[in-house]
Structures are given as C-alpha cells and as structure tokens.
Amino acid sequence: MKTDTISDMLTRIRNGNLVGHKVVKIDSTRMTYHITRLLRTEGFISQYETVVKEGRRYIFIYLKYSINPTRPLIRGLKRVSKPGLRVYVSNNQIPIVLGGQGIAILSTSQGIITNIQAKELGIGGELLCYVW
C-alpha cells in the first residue's frame, strides 16, 4: 500500500517524461485528481481521464511535449511537504518558482490552488510541491 500518493504521482510523471511516454497511469484519489486538474489548467499536461478498471479508479495523464518530441514540457517536479514532515506557509511566505516560470501547489482552506492564486486570495496553506 502506498502511503504517499502525491509522491507516487510525481514520480510516475517524472519517469514517464524521462522515457518519453505519452500517457501515465496513476491511482485516483481526491488529492491526485485535483492536482491533475490544476496541472491541466496551468497547461503542463494536455489532458487527463478517469477510468475504472477492475473495481479501482485510475487517472490517465496525457503528457505534453514541446515541438521537439524528446523535450517534455514539465522539466521538474519536487515534493515539498511529506507525510513525515508537513510544510506550511503563510500568505507572505509563499514562494515564487523559477522567477514565475513554474508553480507551487498548495492545499488551502479554498482547495488545491497555485501560489499565484493563493497570493491573490491572501491565504497560506500546506506547500505540496513545485512544478516547473
């Protein structure tokens, strides 16, 4: 049993990008679904779909590549808050990822949002990961 579904999700996307896969399959939870939806909204992935197979729910993430098919659009993923060490930030401590080139994903009272949305709303939360 996986205890950290977010780390598993990020690792599967990272590995899929490294070997040039078009699609990666991850286990579907509420958290991974909302993160996937956010990645789609921000343009890091082309699309996703939720599928039920053998009684289990999965998300198929379609990775996005630049014009050169060997260069993935997602250049890096980093998990920040982990089950053993949670990292919380206030609204004035929200980081800027690569000078605005990437995003930080936060879990807040308003749901799963990016660092830009959190700054606009003036709220902090748990810093889940960086994507650039």
Give the C-alpha separation, 33 to 30, whole Å: 5
Number of independent structural domains in the chain: 1
- Could you report the per-residue pLDDT of 20-56, keeping only the tens digit for each? 999 999 999 999 999 999 999 999 999 999 999 999 9
The count of C-alpha atoms lying within 13 angstroms of the C-alpha of 35, restricted to the half-sphere facing its C-beta, is 29
- Could you report the per-residue pLDDT of 74-122, keeping only the tens digit for each? 999 999 999 999 999 999 999 999 998 999 999 999 999 999 999 999 9
pTM score, two decimals?
A: 0.93
- Domain coverage including residue 120: 5-131
Report in angstroms the alpha-carbon separations of 71 from 68, 74, 83, 100, 126.
6, 9, 32, 20, 31
Predicted pLDDT of residue 67: 82
CATH code for the domain of 102: 3.30.1490.10
